[in-house]
Amino acid sequence: MRVDVVTIFPDYLAPLGLSLVGRARESGVIDLRVHDLREWATDRHRSVDDTPYGGGAGMVMRPDVWGAALDAVAPPAVTPAPRLVVPTPSGRPFDQAFARKLAAEPWLVFACGRYEGIDARVVAEAATRMPVDEVSLGDYVLGGGEAAALVVLEAVARLLPGVVGNPESLVEESHGADGLLEYPVYTKPVSWRGHEVPDVLLTGHHANIARWRRDQALRRTAERRPDLLDRLDPESLDAHDRAVLADLGWVPPAGED
Ligand code: JAH
């Protein structure tokens, strides 16, 4: 997969040389190129922003500079065009399903904004010739899109073939197949600072362990993320699951039919 990142802080992307994404780059799975937006600034001060039409606080990133940058990174004649990912607090929520979709793409371009954001015509114009996704990682505002691009790239990189050693660890994960939070995990020693590993995990009784883990996942999800329970396929809950959830006061949503 080829990945381009356009930013006014190229050094912010330095962690992409480390850990999982760094290894994916060394092995050739990811071809990552980071670009300084100011290369496409034209004035003496290499400015990339200007005051907002209509007034208001802060500065807005200029469409001419962004247009030149995107034309250089992804020339309009090149096919197939990349998918453009724009991190912004006003984007669609990024989730694991979206990470899987991005991981299937051959070429991603990240446009990292700063200040009050990028002139809206940049996304409008780019969308006439490439797929564009404005994505949010959650309901908070960062100083710019760089940290969000790092997060999205790490979520995508670990899904690429050959990046994670044991592909089983991709199956059994929070926000994976079953739509529940992960159960708690334990390792040695059995007793640590007065806290014990739950007995059932020491029995070797695989059916009981699976049931206990399932109950823990249901409890955690009900407690921390009831919104995920409401989105579950009712077919994915067995009678025991429903009993556990009823005990926690969860009422199944009315069927649609
Ligand atoms: C802030 C451009 N949802 C996380 C997120 C993503 C991007 C930004 N903030 C939060 C952001 C300022 C300018 C992007």
Q: Quote the ligand 1 centre to 138 CA distance (angstroms).
A: 9
In the prediction, which pLDDT does 167 show?
A: 72
What are the tens digits of pLDDT across the range 62-87?
999 999 999 999 999 999 999 999 99
| Separation between Cα atoms, residue 206 and residue 88, nearest integer Å | 45
Both tokens assigned to 128: 């006439």
DSSP state of 43: S
Q: Quote the ligand 1 centre to 71 CA distance (angstroms).
A: 23
* CB-ligand 1 contact for 148 (6 Å cutoff): yes
Atom of ligand 1 nearest to the CA of 148: 6
Atom of ligand 1 nearest to the CA of 88: 7
Identity of residue 216: Q
Strands 60-61 and 195-196: unpaired
In the prediction, which pLDDT does 172 show?
A: 47
In the prediction, which pLDDT does 256 show?
A: 59
The best mutation among 9, 37, 88 to test binding of ligand 1, ranked by most ligand atoms within 8 Å of the C-beta, falls on 88
Task: State the CB neighbour count (10 A cutoff) for residue 156.
Answer: 25
- 35-43 mean pLDDT: 98
Mean pLDDT (the chain) is 95
Could you tell me the pTM of the whole model? 0.94
What are the tens digits of pLDDT across the range 127-178?
999 999 999 999 999 999 999 999 999 999 999 998 987 676 776 455 546 8
* CB-ligand 1 contact for 147 (6 Å cutoff): no
pLDDT-derived band at 231, boundaries 50, 70, 90: very high
| Separation between Cα atoms, residue 117 and residue 144, nearest integer Å | 8
pLDDT at residue 24 is higher than 80:
yes
| Separation between Cα atoms, residue 59 and residue 65, nearest integer Å | 14
* CB-ligand 1 contact for 8 (6 Å cutoff): no
- The DSSP string of 164-221 is SS-THHHHSSTTSTT-SPPPP---S-SEETTEE--GGGGS--HHHHHHHHHHHHHHHH
